[in-house]
Structure 1
Amino acid sequence: MEAASRTGTPRVSRADRLSVETRPGRGPGTVVLTLDGELDHDTAEPLRDALETHSGVGRVVVDCSGLQFCDSTGLNLLLRARLRLLAAGGHVDLTGLRSPVDRIFEITGALKVFRVYEDVDAALAAPEA
């Protein structure tokens, strides 16, 4: 049973507001993570787990087309995963960045460090850089 807030309305679990679907990419060593919902401090655990699970692959493509919100927690999670994979010779690529999510990547300069593609198909078709 959900706990009630001070106003008597049931609290909705924020952890349920982000889903992460994992599937293999077209080649060996590539995984696609499809995000749907809101990525923030309270919902980051599923993405954190998926990134840690796949930290040994060569390439992680993160499909953000279903992402409606991303705060600094989500941005930092992706930046740390990028650094871990880069150190091992891999990449984290982003696809489907849409407003307002693309704005945090733009104003922080993160768009300059990620390879960003229009969609997953474009990312998977791109030659490895």
Structure 2
Amino acid sequence: GRAATIMGLAGVGDLTLTCTGTLSRNYTVGRQLGEGKGMDTGAAVAEGVKTALAIHALAEKLHVDMPLCEAVYQVIHKGVDIKTALAGLQDRPLRSEEDDVFTADFDAEMHHPSHRAAR
């Protein structure tokens, strides 16, 4: 894909709307969780619920540390209290993102023959 795609309406615009639009299912799920209400039965249709599960699985497979995504996964899929998840994030040692060495080879992974059939 092209890097410019994420910066356009299809990328950042969609992300902004899904996170802030009051009619967005993802916004509704986040609001319910933030208010301590838990997720209602309709929440499972929000794409963020399934995406949190997919990101968790991919991060584990590629051995990538994604603390924010992991916290979201724990809250949505494991029933971890939001305050507990936030405390876990705040208790992590500080480190610069620039110091991270990204070792996962996404290009090789995404072009693996097993992914061709899914396209």
TM over 0.5: no
TM-score, normalisation: structure 1? 0.29
Q: Which has the higher helix share?
A: 2
Does 1 or 2 have the higher relative contact order (CA < 8 Å, sep 6+)? 1
Instruction: Identify, as 1 or 2, the structure richer in strand.
Output: 1
